[in-house]
Amino acid sequence: MEYQGSCHCGRIAFTVQADVPIKDVIDCNCSMCRRRGSLLWFAPREAFQLGTDIADVATYQFNTHNIDHHHCRACGTAPYSEAVDPRSGLPMVAINVRCLPQVELAGFVAMTARRVWTRVLIVPALLLVLAACAKQSESAADAGGAAEAGVASPEGAFLAYEHDVQVQLEAAQIAPRIQQVAQACQNAKFGECAVLQVDQRSGEQPSGEVKVRIAPKGVESLIGLAGEGGKLQARNTRAEDLAQQVADTALTKARLEKEHARLLSYQDRGDLKIEDLMAITTRLSEIEAGVEQATKDAAQQRRRIDTQLVTMHFDTTSGQRSRSEIGEALSESGSILSTSVAFLIRAAAALLPVGLVALVMAWIVRALIRRRRRKLPPKT
């Protein structure tokens, strides 16, 4: 269903699409809406279409500056506002239904902000209670199956998971296992996967590391392959909440795109001076670069949310390390002995001249002392 709206003087006119007729609106009690008496209805930004010149739209922000409150430059009517939903990261528009002539205000159910929060908090709480009761009746087998699916970001959340795994294997198994894990990732054996790093160290104590980014459903299977026939020594899983970063990036992009559209409308005017036109062109280039960077940041954030980073460290077993250290010590004993003997020979060679000089000096001192004693008169 399409609604048509406008400000009082008509310089701002717009249309907005609704899947169902508007019935519930919000009587917002913020400091702004209390003063202007807005009744708000929310819709995706893509459902909104401005039909007049954006130059007639003035914008006001306050407090956190996250919402663009638009009003007419001529009559002052505030028909709509724009912002980014912090939960979904999608641009939204808040329509003041008092500016929609098709709407019969008498038939509306207006909720205050307090009632909205009550509904937002109580309903999910009831759903959680029901879900908890249902989970208590599930079997242990179902719980095990859920564990095999791995940890995934809950719907609507923006969590970036990272896993660190320590695997102990026999020395002969490490190199083939590293190749096997990397190959499984490259072939997407357990789902979408990308190999980021492969390190392999040989010798008597071989070790290695494989770092991949994989879809959540394949995490447990890949870790299981890495530890097959060995021992999972340690595992650490952590998550970073990217909700604020996603919201900030979306808000930045939306603001830049809106400014870009506004400057384009100014650029089409015929009364612009050359210096103004050059300034607008320069700013448009800056905005386009900013939009491109915001798009890249959003893609990287989405990648971190949709896939998980798994780092697998491979090492030999403790018994092999002990045997290897003993064998290494025995093999090095000969060289250690020869090095010690060589050191003693060098030390003796270095100290021999010093010893001879000290011996001569001691003989001279002793001779002088004896001569002095002879010159002394005998005691009576």
Domain check: are 187 and 266 in the same one?
yes
Q: What is the pLDDT of residue 108?
A: 60
- For residues 265 and 267, what is the distance between their CA atoms, to the nearest angstrom? 5
- CB crowding 193-216: b at 16 or more within 10 Å, else e: bebeeeeeeeeeebbbebbbbbbb
- Helix and strand counts by DSSP (H, E) for the chain: 8, 15
Domain check: are 106 and 195 in the same one?
no
- For residues 305 and 158, what is the distance between their CA atoms, to the nearest angstrom? 6
Please state whether the predicted TM-score (pTM) of the whole model is above 0.85: no
In a domain? residue 343: no
Helix extents (H) in the chain: 31-36, 113-136, 140-148, 171-186, 219-226, 243-267, 274-306, 318-375
Domain check: are 174 and 319 in the same one?
yes
Domain check: are 86 and 169 in the same one?
no
What is the amino acid identity at position 262? Answer: R
Q: What is the pLDDT of residue 141?
A: 35
Q: What is the pLDDT of residue 328?
A: 62
In a domain? residue 322: yes
Tell me which residue of 117, 121, 230 sits closest to 172, measured CA to CA.
230
pLDDT digits over 60-90, tens only?
988 878 889 999 999 999 999 998 887 777 8
Q: What is the pLDDT of residue 323?
A: 53
In a domain? residue 378: no
The CATH number for 90's domain is 2.170.150.70
Domain check: are 108 and 158 in the same one?
no
pLDDT digits over 128-154, tens only?
434 444 444 343 333 333 334 456 656
Domain that holds residue 70: 2-119
Domain check: are 157 and 283 in the same one?
yes
In a domain? residue 96: yes
What is the amino acid identity at position 119? Answer: R
- For residues 267 and 306, what is the distance between their CA atoms, to the nearest angstrom? 40
In a domain? residue 353: no
Q: What is the CA radius of gyration of the chain?
A: 39
Q: What is the pLDDT of residue 34?
A: 84
Domain check: are 293 and 219 in the same one?
yes
Domain check: are 214 and 327 in the same one?
yes
Task: Name residues whose C-beta falls within 8 Å of residue 160's C-beta, 6 or more positions apart in sequence.
Answer: 153, 239, 240, 242, 301, 304, 305, 308, 309
Q: What is the pLDDT of residue 93?
A: 93
Q: What is the pLDDT of residue 219?
A: 94
- For residues 214 and 262, what is the distance between their CA atoms, to the nearest angstrom? 41
With tokens 């020869």, the residue in question is 338
In a domain? residue 130: no
Q: Are 242 and 298 in contact (CB under 8 A)?
A: no
The secondary element (H helix, E strand) that includes residue 276 is helix 274-306
Task: Name residues whose C-beta falls within 8 Å of residue 322's C-beta, 6 or more positions apart in sequence.
Answer: none
Task: State the CB neighbour count (10 A cutoff) for residue 18.
Answer: 15
Number of domains comprising the chain:
2
Domain check: are 161 and 287 in the same one?
yes
Q: Are 42 and 136 in contact (CB under 8 A)?
A: no
Q: What is the pLDDT of residue 341?
A: 83
Q: How do the pLDDT tens digits run along the chain, 380 residues long?
A: 899 999 999 999 999 999 888 888 888 888 888 888 889 999 999 999 999 998 899 999 888 788 899 999 999 999 999 988 877 778 999 999 999 998 887 756 555 444 444 444 444 444 443 444 444 434 333 333 333 445 665 666 789 999 999 999 998 899 999 999 999 999 999 999 999 999 999 887 899 999 999 999 999 999 999 999 999 889 999 999 998 899 899 999 998 998 888 888 877 777 778 888 888 888 888 999 999 999 999 999 999 999 999 999 999 876 555 555 555 666 677 778 888 888 888 888 888 888 888 888 888 888 888 877 777 666 65
Rounded to 5°, the CA angle 140-142-148 comes to 105
**Domain end (from 87, 119, 151):** 119
Q: Is 314 helix (H, G, I), strand (E, B) or coil?
A: strand
In a domain? residue 346: no
Half-sphere exposure of 119 (CA within 13 A, CB side): 8
Q: Is 100 helix (H, G, I), strand (E, B) or coil?
A: coil
Domain check: are 68 and 153 in the same one?
no
Tell me which residue of 251, 253, 247, 254 sits closest to 158, measured CA to CA.
247
Q: Are 177 and 171 in contact (CB under 8 A)?
A: no
Domain check: are 194 and 296 in the same one?
yes
Report the residue count for the chain: 380
Domain check: are 87 and 179 in the same one?
no
- For residues 195 and 185, what is the distance between their CA atoms, to the nearest angstrom? 6
- CB crowding 153-172: b at 16 or more within 10 Å, else e: beeeebbbbebebbbbbebe
Rounded to 5°, the CA angle 11-12-15 comes to 135
In a domain? residue 368: no
Q: What is the pLDDT of residue 11?
A: 94
